[in-house]
């Protein structure tokens, strides 16, 4: 018989688990579910956010229940789960789901239920709290085993939960902010020719800045509005947004590692594993780019305000943006104070608030740019009719025009009798990660940027470059000098094929080398592109039985 069949307490727990899982399945009919404790499963920041925001329920995999302790263990009384005070409901739920996963991970190494130090009682209690959707949390006193207490003390569940929320929101923001900036480029008629100078082709450019510039050029492809004014707030978009992408990617990597790492106790553990310091350093690297993104968005929005004809709307947006920008600066000051005091959870919480503020600033920039470009809520009907006769509408980019139309179709069109503040909130909801229309807006932006039709501009493969007129003049002069030196010493030119047999190249670089690029040939033999000229030279010498000669070769590899 299994341990569950033998022990009536375990049968009760098993029944409780089944009821909880059944209730989760019923609720999952309306929302998704996240399964924890499965073999080979991985926990992600987006999953944490779904549970934290109440979009998804939690289910514990049946295999995880079989690993829980079946023996009687000494219990320790605790006053709480160790979650800091002052967290929002979203942040508390994120802390709880991370703690639940840590308990399951810490138990996954047990060879049998008798060797486990984690019971099913605590995970089931956390599961019940998460799936109850309560607005208030009263944990009360709990009893835990020594192994469970180690997990509660050393898991850093709240900090990792906060990092996961920040990771999810920052990743989504990095995907949206470029499209909003593109609208501002249109509204301000900013010059974007400087975007092309970021990629010099020599491999030393900032990859993320180049990528942002490429996405902006895709969004603005075909626009007749941009290119009239040299605006600093426009020209520095690629580098600011590029750096933001870079640090968000680093945070995502660190969060993924911590989410899927168990807690070790006893001789294999330590008093301080360094998780707080490590995540604090990662988050501190994110704080400055967050401020830069928010500040740059605020300054672009101020430029867009100048093109809005409706004075009431202009004043409303300016007031809201100014308040949010001041809130951002104040929150970041408090965040830095917490970091200095090594209060990493407090620092992460303030940083999470700051990201929410930046979201609203970017949303207000979108409203301002949309109002300036579409004319919605701009002027009264008579002024609109008069201006439509005199002013020809500017041709927008193929990407930005799709974004404008999407906003119009989802509440941005407005109603004549609708208050301005209500209309502004409708558009802001499109850019709210918790809003119903956000996923649709994000999908639309991804579709525009990632599509491979006429909006996609041709570009060079990575690691290559074009040699234009100026470079070719220098190149020809340099090559002529080099060749003359070789000729004066009696050397003659040598030319070899650009590809060699794969087995010949493997002799130097090895089977798994990333330097080898395979190509299809017509003779039935495997060939690869050469990486340098040493292998072709050695092959030529060996084939011709040469022991001494003078040759020079200048060729592409």
Q: What count of Cα atoms within 13 Å lies in the side-chain half-sphere of residue 331?
A: 22
pLDDT of residue 121: 85
Tell which residue, 273, 398, 257, has the closest CA to residue 344: 273
In whole numbers, what is the pLDDT of the chain averaged over residues?
Answer: 82
Contact by Cβ (8 Å): 305, 186? no
- Supply the DSSP string of 61-92, one letter for each residue: -HHHHTTS--S----EEESSS-PPTT--HHHH
Q: Which residue has the higher pLDDT, 74 or 459?
A: 74
* Model confidence band, residue 388 (pLDDT cutoffs 50, 70, 90): very low
pLDDT of residue 470: 86
Whether residues 62 and 179 share a domain: the answer is no
Q: Which residues pair with 33 in a beta bridge?
A: 57
pTM: 0.75
Tell which residue, 56, 61, 57, 47, has the closest CA to residue 17: 61
d(CA 383, CA 547): 89
d(CA 498, CA 505): 12
Percentage with pLDDT > 70 across the chain: 80
pLDDT of residue 274: 87
Rounded mean pLDDT, 141-153: 85
d(CA 218, CA 212): 10
**Length of the chain in terms of residues written:** 557
Residue 39 in 3-state DSSP?
Answer: coil
Domain boundary among 120, 138, 155: 155
Whether residues 301 and 425 share a domain: the answer is yes
Residue 135 in 3-state DSSP?
Answer: coil
Q: Which residue has the higher pLDDT, 300 or 77?
A: 300
Tell which residue, 258, 253, 284, has the closest CA to residue 273: 258
pLDDT of residue 387: 47
552: pLDDT strictly greater than 70? yes
d(CA 529, CA 481): 28
Contact by Cβ (8 Å): 70, 100? no
pLDDT of residue 20: 45
In this structure, of 77-91, 296-310, 364-378, 387-401, the range with the lowest mean pLDDT score is 387-401
Percentage with pLDDT > 90 across the chain: 38
The number of angstroms, rounded, from the C-alpha of 470 to the middle of its chain's C-alpha atoms is 39
In this structure, of 96-110, 300-314, 330-344, the range with the lowest mean pLDDT score is 96-110
pLDDT of residue 376: 54
* Model confidence band, residue 200 (pLDDT cutoffs 50, 70, 90): low
* Model confidence band, residue 184 (pLDDT cutoffs 50, 70, 90): very high
Contact by Cβ (8 Å): 145, 120? no
Q: Which residue has the higher pLDDT, 361 or 106?
A: 361
pLDDT of residue 62: 85
Q: Is residue 388 part of a domain?
A: no
Cβ neighbors of 127 (< 8 A, separation 6 or more) are: 20, 58, 60, 100
83: pLDDT strictly greater than 60? yes
Structure tokens at 127: 């599961």
Whether residues 211 and 342 share a domain: the answer is yes
First-to-last alpha carbon distance for the chain, in angstroms, is 68
pLDDT of residue 77: 82
Whether residues 486 and 445 share a domain: the answer is no
Q: Is residue 11 part of a domain?
A: no
Whether residues 304 and 320 share a domain: the answer is yes
Q: Which residue has the higher pLDDT, 383 or 288?
A: 288
Rounded mean pLDDT, 407-435: 76
Whether residues 322 and 197 share a domain: the answer is yes
Whether residues 96 and 185 share a domain: the answer is no
Domain boundary among 113, 139, 155: 155
Q: Is residue 557 part of a domain?
A: no
* Model confidence band, residue 479 (pLDDT cutoffs 50, 70, 90): very high
5: pLDDT strictly greater than 70? no
d(CA 247, CA 37): 30
407: pLDDT strictly greater than 70? yes
Highest-confidence segment of 22-26, 101-105, 266-270, 336-340: 336-340
Structure tokens at 33: 């579910």
Domain carrying residue 317: 160-262+276-376+396-451
Q: Which residue has the higher pLDDT, 491 or 110?
A: 491
Tell which residue, 277, 275, 283, has the closest CA to residue 335: 283
Q: Tokens 């680093």, residue?
A: 250
* Model confidence band, residue 462 (pLDDT cutoffs 50, 70, 90): low
Whether residues 252 and 307 share a domain: the answer is yes
Domain boundary among 116, 137, 155: 155
d(CA 494, CA 50): 63
Structure tokens at 379: 């002027």
328: pLDDT strictly greater than 60? yes
227 burial level (CB within 10 Å; 0-12, 13-18, 19+): middle
54: pLDDT strictly greater than 50? yes
431: pLDDT strictly greater than 90? no
Give 489's DSSP letter: T
pLDDT of residue 325: 96
Whether residues 168 and 38 share a domain: the answer is no
DSSP H or E run through 222: none
pLDDT of residue 453: 52
Q: Is residue 169 part of a domain?
A: yes
* Model confidence band, residue 48 (pLDDT cutoffs 50, 70, 90): very high
Q: Is residue 10 part of a domain?
A: no
CATH of the domain at 175: 1.20.200.10
pLDDT of residue 168: 95
Q: Tokens 């409303």, residue?
A: 316
Q: Is residue 458 part of a domain?
A: no
Rounded mean pLDDT, 443-472: 73
Whether residues 147 and 165 share a domain: the answer is no
pLDDT of residue 525: 76
Pairing of strands 551-552, 517-519: unpaired
pLDDT of residue 15: 43
Tell which residue, 418, 425, 433, 369, has the closest CA to residue 396: 369
In this structure, of 72-76, 254-258, 286-290, the range with the lowest mean pLDDT score is 72-76
Whether residues 140 and 243 share a domain: the answer is no
If one counts the domains in the chain, the total is 3
Whether residues 182 and 316 share a domain: the answer is yes
Pairing of strands 527-529, 499-501: antiparallel
Q: Is residue 333 part of a domain?
A: yes
508: pLDDT strictly greater than 80? no
Highest-confidence segment of 22-36, 326-340, 362-376: 326-340
Q: Is residue 26 part of a domain?
A: no
Cβ neighbors of 274 (< 8 A, separation 6 or more) are: none
- For the chain, the C-alpha Rg in angstroms (whole number) is 30
């Amino acid at each position: 018989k299994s341990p569950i069949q033998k022990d009536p307490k375990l049968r009760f727990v098993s029944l409780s688990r089944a009821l909880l899982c059944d209730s989760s399945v019923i609720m999952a009919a309306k929302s998704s579910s996240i399964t924890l404790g499965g073999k080979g499963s991985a926990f992600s920041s987006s999953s944490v956010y779904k549970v934290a925001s109440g979009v998804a329920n939690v289910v514990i995999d049946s295999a995880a229940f079989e690993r829980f302790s079946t023996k009687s263990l000494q219990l320790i009384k605790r006053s709480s789960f160790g979650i800091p005070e002052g967290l929002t409901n979203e942040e508390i739920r994120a802390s709880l789901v991370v703690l639940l996963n840590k308990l399951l991970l810490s138990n996954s190494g047990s060879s049998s239920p008798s060797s486990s130090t984690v019971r099913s009682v605590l995970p089931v209690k956390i599961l019940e709290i998460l799936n109850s959707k309560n607005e208030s949390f009263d944990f009360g006193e709990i009893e835990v085993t020594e192994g469970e207490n180690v997990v509660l003390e050393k898991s850093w569940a709240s900090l990792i939960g906060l990092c996961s929320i920040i990771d999810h929101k920052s990743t989504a923001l990095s995907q949206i902010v470029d499209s909003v900036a593109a609208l501002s480029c249109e509204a301000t008629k900013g010059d974007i020719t400087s975007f092309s100078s970021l990629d010099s082709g020599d491999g030393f450019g900032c990859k993320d800045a180049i990528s942002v510039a490429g996405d902006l050029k895709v969004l603005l492809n075909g626009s007749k509005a941009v290119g009239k004014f040299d605006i600093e707030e426009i020209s520095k978009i690629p580098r600011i947004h590029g750096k933001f992408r870079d640090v968000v990617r680093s945070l995502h990597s660190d969060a993924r590692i911590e989410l899927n790492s168990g807690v070790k106790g006893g001789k294999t553990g330590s008093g301080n594993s360094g998780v707080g310091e490590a995540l604090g350093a990662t988050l501190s690297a994110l704080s400055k780019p967050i401020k830069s993104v928010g500040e740059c968005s605020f300054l672009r929005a101020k430029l867009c305000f100048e093109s809005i004809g409706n004075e009431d709307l202009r004043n409303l947006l300016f007031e809201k943006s100014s308040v949010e920008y001041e809130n951002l600066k104040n929150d970041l000051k408090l965040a830095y104070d917490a970091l200095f005091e090594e209060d990493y959870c407090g620092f992460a919480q303030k940083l999470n608030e700051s990201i929410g503020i930046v979201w609203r600033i970017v949303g207000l920039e979108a409203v301002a740019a949309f109002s300036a470009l579409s004319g919605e809520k701009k002027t009264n009907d008579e002024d609109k009719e008069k201006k439509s006769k005199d002013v020809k509408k500017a041709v927008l980019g193929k990407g930005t025009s799709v974004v404008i139309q999407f906003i119009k179709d989802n509440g941005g069109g407005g109603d004549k009798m609708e208050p301005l503040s209500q209309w502004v909130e409708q558009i802001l909801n499109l850019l709210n990660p918790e809003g119903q229309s956000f996923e649709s807006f994000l999908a639309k932006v991804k579709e525009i940027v990632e599509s491979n039709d006429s909006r996609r501009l041709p570009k060079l493969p990575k690691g290559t470059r074009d040699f234009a007129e100026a470079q070719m003049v220098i190149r020809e002069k340099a090559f002529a000098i080099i060749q003359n030196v070789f000729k004066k010493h009696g050397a003659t030119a040598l030319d070899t094929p650009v590809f060699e047999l794969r087995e010949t190249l493997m002799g130097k670089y090895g089977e798994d080398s990333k330097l080898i690029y395979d190509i299809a040939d017509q003779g039935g033999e495997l060939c690869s592109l050469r990486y340098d000229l040493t292998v072709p030279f050695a092959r030529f010498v060996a084939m011709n039985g040469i022991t001494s000669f003078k040759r020079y070769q200048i060729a592409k590899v």
